[in-house]
């Protein structure tokens, strides 16, 4: 691999960030929300660097439809075109373009009270969790009017996910709680949010992730629990349909399936074939286990009317891929090029081709966008003193 990174860096002490509907959304340490339309961000790149870097940023980080078109793919198959396009990246492992933080605009939405722990943007709603609760507001792509900030839970909350018409949040000893999200614009969202009832899906939840439309609850045990969702197709505005969750099963221990998948009589002692193993986490429907020097990937299969299964797929020899060992994992996320692993020694992308180091220290927040059409291979890293939007290319292919 010959990986080159393009990084758009916004200096400052930020708390979290999202790329959503052609806007960069950023929260500062005081919980205030800022935004920058992608179009304006690209103009800032051109101003800070040049038009060539703007095109690269659009191609590698803030994709327009151009990247996916067959015309562009055909053009990039011409070696000289590809060489010229990526020429600004050839002299160093990474190119950093500084974006002026003053380019961000302050949203009129009230700041999130408390210390932000997580955020999610989905269905024209923005949810933020903090050590004071869960907060909901409506997203307006042009920010022409301020939407009120509604507190929907008042317990400390550590994580939130949203999709398929629901959100689910981890409230520690107050459990894993879920609620539907009604779609549609206008001020009536507040009343529908107030009227919606929460359902407790698990008694204890430290963090929660999505596995396709299902949920994985990380509670008291080192192994996550699987929570199967039942869905129905619903038509939404602009003519597209979405699978909407209408029910969740009780949490299901993955231990027996893991024993079967690994061919072990028991997981006692966390040892398999003489090597200690650890669940790193799940990246969408893939479960990542570290077994000695290897990362083993298991597919989480839960098709309708079929029993839940774990099936071994790929494995990576991380000892030969990484210059220093992976620390204890804190989160794993999916992106098109592989798996993002956030651990105590930094942040890496693992794939069958190798490992890409994105940070060699603890970061405030790492985020990928596996459900986005545009940002499917973009990583957002909030560090102690900057926000980085990272895209990358393997020049050896």
Q: Report the residue number, 7 or 245, with the smaller CB distance to other proteins.
A: 7
Minimum CB distance to other proteins, residue 233 (Å): 34
Angstrom distance (rounded) from CA 378 to CA 393: 11
Q: Find out whether 118 and 128 touch, Cβ atoms under 8 Å.
A: yes
- CA pair distance 124, 185, nearest whole angstrom: 8
| 231 or 365: CB nearest other proteins | 365
Q: How far is the CB of 243 from other proteins (least distance, A)?
A: 28
Decide whether 15 or 225 has the Cβ nearer to other proteins: 15
Give the nearest distance from C-beta 15 to other proteins in angstroms.
Answer: 8
User: CB-based contacts of 142: which residues, under 8 Å, 6+ apart?
Assistant: none
Buried b (16+ CB within 10 A) or exposed e, 73-91: eeeeeeeeeeeebbebbee
Q: Which is nearer to other proteins, 104 or 116 (CB)?
A: 116
- Between CA 339 and CA 288 the distance in angstroms is 9
Non-local (6+) Cβ contacts of 323 within 8 A are 357
Query: In angstroms, what CA-CA distances link 48 with 9, 14, 36, 210, 352?
Result: 11, 21, 16, 37, 35
Closer Cβ to other proteins, 247 or 361, answer by number: 361
Nearest distance in Å: CB 166, other proteins: 21
* Residue for token pair 């993002």: 340
Is the Cβ of residue 204 or residue 392 nearer to other proteins in the bound state?
Answer: 204
CA distances from 370 to 39, 318, 376 (A): 21, 23, 5
Neighbours of 58 (CB within 10 A): 19
Identify which of residues 172 and 354 has a Cβ nearer to other proteins in the complex: 172
Min separation Cβ 140 and other proteins, Å: 28
Least distance in angstroms from the C-beta of 269 to other proteins: 7
CB of 43 to other proteins, least distance (A): 30
311 membership: H or E segment, kind and range:
strand 309-317
Give every strand in the sheet of 379-382, ordered side by side: 94-98, 3-11, 386-394, 379-382, 365-368
> What residues line the site for other proteins (CB under 8 A)?
13, 15, 29, 114-115, 117-118, 131, 156, 158-159, 172-173, 204, 206-207, 220-223, 255, 266-270, 327-328, 330-331, 344-345, 361-365, 383-384
| Phi-psi label, residue 196: left if phi above 0, alpha if psi -120 to 50, beta otherwise | beta
Least separation in angstroms between CB 172 and other proteins: 7
Strands 166-170 and 159-163: antiparallel
Q: Which two tokens stand for residue 216?
A: 């994985």
Nearest CA to 139 out of 35, 219, 62, 50 is that of 35
Least Å from the CB of residue 27 to other proteins: 12
């Amino acid at each position: 691999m010959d990986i080159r990174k393009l990084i758009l860096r916004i200096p400052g002490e930020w708390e979290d960030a999202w790329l959503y509907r052609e806007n960069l959304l950023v929260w500062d340490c005081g919980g205030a929300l800022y935004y920058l339309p992608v179009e304006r961000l690209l103009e800032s790149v051109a101003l800070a660097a040049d038009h060539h870097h703007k095109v690269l940023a659009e191609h590698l980080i803030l994709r327009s439809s151009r990247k996916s078109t067959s015309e562009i793919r055909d053009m990039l198959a011409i070696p000289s075109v590809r060489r010229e396009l990526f020429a600004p990246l050839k002299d160093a492992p990474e190119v950093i373009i500084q974006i002026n933080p003053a380019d961000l605009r302050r949203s009129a939405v009230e700041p999130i009270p408390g210390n932000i722990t997580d955020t999610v943007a989905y269905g024209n709603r923005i949810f933020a969790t903090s050590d004071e609760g869960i907060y909901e507001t409506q997203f307006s792509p042009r920010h022409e009017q301020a939407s009120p900030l509604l507190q929907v839970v008042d317990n400390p909350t550590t994580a939130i996910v949203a999709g398929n018409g629901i959100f689910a949040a981890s409230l520690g000893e107050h459990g894993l709680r879920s609620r539907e999200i009604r779609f549609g614009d206008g001020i009536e969202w507040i009343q529908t949010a107030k009227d919606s009832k929460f359902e407790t899906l698990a008694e204890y939840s430290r963090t929660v992730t999505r596995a396709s439309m299902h949920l994985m609850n990380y509670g008291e045990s080192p192994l996550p629990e699987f929570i199967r969702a039942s869905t129905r197709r619903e038509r939404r505005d602009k003519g597209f349909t979405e699978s909407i969750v209408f029910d969740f099963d009780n949490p299901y221990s993955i231990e027996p399936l893991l024993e079967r998948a690994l061919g072990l009589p028991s997981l006692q002692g966390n040892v398999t074939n003489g090597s200690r193993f650890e669940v790193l986490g799940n990246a969408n429907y893939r479960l990542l286990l570290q077994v000695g020097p290897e990362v083993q990937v298991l597919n989480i299969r839960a098709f309708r009317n079929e029993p839940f299964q774990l099936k071994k797929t790929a494995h990576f020899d991380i000892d030969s891929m990484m210059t220093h060992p992976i620390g204890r994992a804190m989160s794993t996320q999916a992106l098109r090029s592989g798996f993002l692993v956030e651990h105590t020694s930094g942040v890496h992308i693992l794939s069958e081709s190798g490992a890409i180091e994105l940070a060699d220290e603890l970061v405030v927040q790492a985020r990928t966008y596996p459900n986005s059409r545009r940002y499917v291979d973009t990583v957002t890293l909030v560090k102690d003193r900057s926000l980085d939007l990272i895209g990358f290319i393997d020049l050896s292919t």
